[in-house]
């Protein structure tokens, strides 16, 4: 496999859409959260992400509303605006025996810490993990496009994550982001193990005029 260092928007637009293929579970009570964590504790590797209701009022910021935690087969959407950050979830994030993979984790944990104090352990930041493979992009969408030739839709990013009911497109978007982090990590680990890759020749960064900030 030849790994491209960068990718542009035009290339992404022509790619098929990536969707989480497993089961999605919306967690809305502390009891449901406890049952979800009981399953997640059996998984050695998890993908994580979070969503916050966008604010269109200057100076007003909402607390993180959703925490997505995915295995290969299941993704749990913890509605933190309804349950808060419960103790079982905190203990999962603190568990050193379970690897948590995400992108821009510093931002995710900064928001989660505003809900409750905890010390996360065994976390892998994909923006750093991809560097030895020559990937210069920072966004989940572009990293995924480089490795899988598929596009992660961003259409729900600015939707209301505190709505009474999360729509199916919201659920699919949230689950796909967490699962994609897991997919990227597994793919790169496989390439590292087999050595079956080469890095494309260096080229100027794609969309170099755009700021390289977080893209969920």
Query: Confidence class of residue 212 from pLDDT cuts 50, 70 and 90?
Result: very low
Which is more confident, 207 or 199? 199
> Model confidence at 97, in pLDDT bands (50, 70, 90)?
very high
| Percent above pLDDT 90 for the chain | 88
Is residue 214 in some structural domain?
no
The rounded distance, in Å, linking the Cα atoms of 29 and 83 is: 6
Give the total number of structural domains in the chain: 1
Give me the CATH number covering residue 135.
3.30.420.10
Q: Looking at the predicted structure, is the pLDDT value of residue 161 above 80?
A: yes
What mean pLDDT is predicted for residues 108-137?
98
**Residue 40: both structure tokens together:** 């997640």
Residue at 97 is within a domain: yes
Which residue segment(s) compose the domain that 55 sits in?
2-199
Q: Does the pLDDT at position 139 exceed 60?
A: yes
Reported as a pLDDT band with limits 50, 70 and 90, residue 57 is confident
Q: Which two tokens stand for residue 11?
A: 């290339």
Read off the pLDDT band of 209 (50, 70, 90).
very low
pLDDT at 138 over 80: yes
Residue that is written with structure tokens 């504790």 in the block:
41
**Rounded to whole angstroms, how far apart are CA atoms 166 and 168?**
7
The DSSP bridge partners found for residue 67 are 50, 78
Asked if residue 59 belongs to a domain, the reply is yes
Q: For the chain, what is the mean pLDDT?
A: 94
CB 68 within 8 A of CB 50: yes
In a domain, 43, yes or no: yes
Q: What is the DSSP string of 90-133?
A: HHHHH-TTSEEEESSHHHHHHHHHTT------SEEEHHHHTGGG
Instruction: Tell me whether residue 207 is in a domain.
Output: no
> Containing H/E element for 147?
helix 140-148
Centroid of chain to Cα 24:
15
Q: The pTM is what?
A: 0.91
Q: Residue 203 pLDDT more than 70? A: no
* Cα–Cα distance, 17 to 161 (Å, whole number): 22
Among 177, 130, 174, 157, smallest CA distance to 6 is for 130
pLDDT at 118: 98
Q: What does the DSSP 8-state code read for residue 45?
A: E
The answer to the question of residue 179 being in a domain is yes
| Percent of the chain predicted with pLDDT > 70 | 94
Within 8 A by CB and 6+ apart from 20, the residues are 70, 75, 172, 175, 176, 178, 179, 180
Is the pLDDT assigned to residue 214 strictly greater than 60?
Answer: no
User: Has residue 208 been placed in a domain?
Assistant: no
- Domain-located, residue 213: no
210, pLDDT greater than 60: no
């Amino acid at each position: 496999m030849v790994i491209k260092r960068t990718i542009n928007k035009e290339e992404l637009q022509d790619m098929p859409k990536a969707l989480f293929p497993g089961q999605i579970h919306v967690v809305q009570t502390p009891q449901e959260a406890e049952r979800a964590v009981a399953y997640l504790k059996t998984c050695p590797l998890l993908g994580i992400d979070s969503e916050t209701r966008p604010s269109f009022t200057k100076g007003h910021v909402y607390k993180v509303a959703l925490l997505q935690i995915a295995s290969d087969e299941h993704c749990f959407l913890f509605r933190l605006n309804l349950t808060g950050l419960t103790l079982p979830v905190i203990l999962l994030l603190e568990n050193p025996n379970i690897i948590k993979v995400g992108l821009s984790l510093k931002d995710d944990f900064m928001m989660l810490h505003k809900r409750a104090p905890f010390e996360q352990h065994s976390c892998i930041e994909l923006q750093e993990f991809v560097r030895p493979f020559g990937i210069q992009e920072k966004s989940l969408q572009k990293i995924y496009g480089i490795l899988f030739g598929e596009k992660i839709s961003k259409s729900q990013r600015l939707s209301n994550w505190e709505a009474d009911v999360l729509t199916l497109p919201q659920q699919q978007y949230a689950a796909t982001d967490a699962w994609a982090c897991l997919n990227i990590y597994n793919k790169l680990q496989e390439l590292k193990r087999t050595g079956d890759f080469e890095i494309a020749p260096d080229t100027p960064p794609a969309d170099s005029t755009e700021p390289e900030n977080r893209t969920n």
